[in-house]
Amino acid sequence: MYELTFKTWLKAGDIMSEHIATIRPECSVAAAAKTMWRNNISCLVVLDNETLSGIVTETDMLKRTFAQGDKFNKIKIAQIMSSPVRSIGRDLSIMGISEIMKAENIRRLVVQAEGKPVGIITQTDMVRSLTYYTQLKEVTEIMTPDVTVIDSSATVREAADLMASQDISCLVVMDKDSIAGIFTERDLTKRVIAAEINPDKTPLEKVMSSPVVTVSANYSVLSAQKRMERARIRRLVVTEFNTSPDSKETLVGMITQTDILESLRATLLEEEKNYFAHLVDSEECIYAVDSDLNTTYVSPCFMELLDVMDSTELINKPFLPKRFWQDPRQRSRVAAQMSRAVLCVEELALKTTKGKSLSVLLFCAPIRSLKGEICGSYGIFYRYTSQRDSTQREKAGMTIY
């Protein structure tokens, strides 16, 4: 199996929010809900003497607060927070982040450096960062058709119990056959817990969000995501108009950020799979290095050229260790050019692991991240003889451009 990190994804440090809203474990749930409401955020990082102790989310508010009673000012954060906290480093790729979110069914991750929280990544950050991948799919292809509904006369307690039992984050509120509103974890946090109202005596119609932001089933996924971003919400109710004389709007489904992120993830995984297959099948001697000049990818042909049997001899090590160079000074000169991130063409005198002399033409170019920043370089080796020198130079130029 060959290593593949040649594809350059955004990393946690590129997309995280450095502003972390925090709270202490002894603070009340009501105080936490008010802080989340004022800052329009979905979670708080819990710090105990500057140490990461837990995280409290809108889901925690839904599933754990009512289990402690409805005296929200007496319930402490320590009683409902999620702990230990799932954290990651700055260098984890956006694909790695999406894998964790999917596998562990979580919507936010704390980014740590040197044992301290330095940022937070939410599902919203993930979707926003991947919008350059235009979604040609329509909403109907990825939406959830089975939507849980509740009558507007139901109480907040009944709604919260239903959401918790079905492990869902919202309900569509109906008034007979009409969509009256939507009740979400955020509505619960903002309008019930923060306001410290009695959930048993409060009807949903008093605290639900209304009117509902809707989208047609034939909308593109990209358009749906943009509508969510403008409205600063995480889901859209999907509707269609029937052909009856009154042209009533009918509920047909719901599309969430989770649906969009999963669709994006599937698209990117397929692209990476095809990309990997292309590199493995390539007859070119391709390599890639990161900004520290550590090798991140070598193609099978590259290994064969150098008589290398195991990619670990090269991967995650400085580019071409000294044993491969006939003149180590040449290695220093090439490394300096690669560090400057400039296009370069060099004739190299190398030797294989078996000590066989090797003359190659190196064509090297910088790699840019999805944010346009130079983050390494990649190149192609062409074995040549003096008689074939001009032909190989021309081939190198044609291959890159």
**Tokens standing for 135?**
């979604």
Burial of 328 (0-12, 13-18, 19+ CB in 10 A): exposed
Q: Cα angle at 325 between 319 and 327, to 5 degrees?
A: 125
CATH number at residue 236: 3.10.580.10
Q: Would you state the pLDDT for residue 390?
A: 46
Burial of 278 (0-12, 13-18, 19+ CB in 10 A): exposed
Instruction: Give the residue from 129, 148, 164 where a domain finishes.
Output: 129
Q: Does some domain include residue 68?
A: yes
Q: Does some domain include residue 182?
A: yes
Single out the residue of 105, 98, 139 nearest to residue 236, CA to CA: 139
Q: Would you state the pLDDT for residue 399?
A: 41
Residues 119 and 22 in one domain: yes
Q: Does some domain include residue 300?
A: yes
Instruction: Give the residue from 129, 154, 169 where a domain finishes.
Output: 129
Do 13 and 120 meet the contact criterion of CB atoms below 8 Å apart? Answer: no
Residue 139: strand, helix, or coil: helix
Q: Would you state the pLDDT for residue 340?
A: 81
First to last CA, the chain: 29
Residues 159 and 68 in one domain: no
Residues 122 and 169 in one domain: no
User: How far apart (Å, rounded) are the C-alpha atoms in residues 231 and 5?
Assistant: 36
Residues 124 and 143 in one domain: no
Q: Cα angle at 168 between 165 and 174, to 5 degrees?
A: 95
The whole domain housing 346 covers 282-400
Identity of the amino acid at 168: I
Q: Does some domain include residue 221?
A: yes
Q: How many CB atoms lie within 10 A of CB 104?
A: 9
**Tokens standing for 371?**
């944010």
User: How far apart (Å, rounded) are the C-alpha atoms in residues 399 and 364?
Assistant: 11
Q: Would you state the pLDDT for residue 68?
A: 86
Number of domains in the chain: 3
Q: How many CB atoms lie within 10 A of CB 39?
A: 11
pLDDT tens-place values along the chain, 401 residues long: 333 333 456 789 988 999 999 999 999 999 999 999 999 999 999 999 889 999 999 999 999 998 888 899 999 999 999 999 999 999 888 888 988 999 999 999 999 998 899 999 999 998 888 766 655 689 999 999 999 999 999 999 999 999 999 999 999 999 988 999 999 999 999 999 999 999 999 999 999 999 999 999 999 888 898 899 999 999 999 999 876 666 678 999 999 999 998 888 887 777 766 666 666 667 788 888 888 899 988 888 999 999 999 989 999 999 999 999 999 889 888 888 888 877 888 889 999 999 999 999 988 888 776 566 777 888 889 887 544 444 444 444 434 33
Q: How many CB atoms lie within 10 A of CB 74?
A: 12
Residues 196 and 220 in one domain: yes
CATH number at residue 379: 3.30.450.20
Do 141 and 255 meet the contact criterion of CB atoms below 8 Å apart? Answer: no
The pTM (predicted TM-score) of the whole model is 0.71
Q: Does some domain include residue 274?
A: no
Single out the residue of 228, 156, 189 nearest to residue 41, CA to CA: 189
Q: Would you state the pLDDT for residue 96?
A: 87
Residues 148 and 52 in one domain: no
Specify the DSSP class assigned to residue 347: E
Q: Would you state the pLDDT for residue 247?
A: 64
Instruction: Give the residue from 82, 97, 129 where a domain finishes.
Output: 129
Q: Does some domain include residue 161?
A: yes
Residues 299 and 224 in one domain: no
| Residue located via tokens 């954060």 | 77
Residues 315 and 345 in one domain: yes
User: How far apart (Å, rounded) are the C-alpha atoms in residues 197 and 206?
Assistant: 11
Residues 143 and 259 in one domain: yes
Residues 67 and 121 in one domain: yes
Residues 247 and 313 in one domain: no
Identity of the amino acid at 385: T
User: How far apart (Å, rounded) are the C-alpha atoms in residues 311 and 314?
Assistant: 6
Do 301 and 284 meet the contact criterion of CB atoms below 8 Å apart? Answer: yes
Residues 213 and 143 in one domain: yes
Q: How far is CA 358 from the centre of its chain?
A: 43
**Backbone torsions φ then ψ of 252, nearest 5 degrees:** -125, -10
Q: Does some domain include residue 4?
A: no
User: How far apart (Å, rounded) are the C-alpha atoms in residues 33 and 40?
Assistant: 10
User: How far apart (Å, rounded) are the C-alpha atoms in residues 299 and 4?
Assistant: 9
User: How far apart (Å, rounded) are the C-alpha atoms in residues 126 and 220?
Assistant: 19
Q: Does some domain include residue 277?
A: no
Q: Cα angle at 64 between 60 and 70, to 5 degrees?
A: 120
User: How far apart (Å, rounded) are the C-alpha atoms in residues 5 and 91?
Assistant: 12
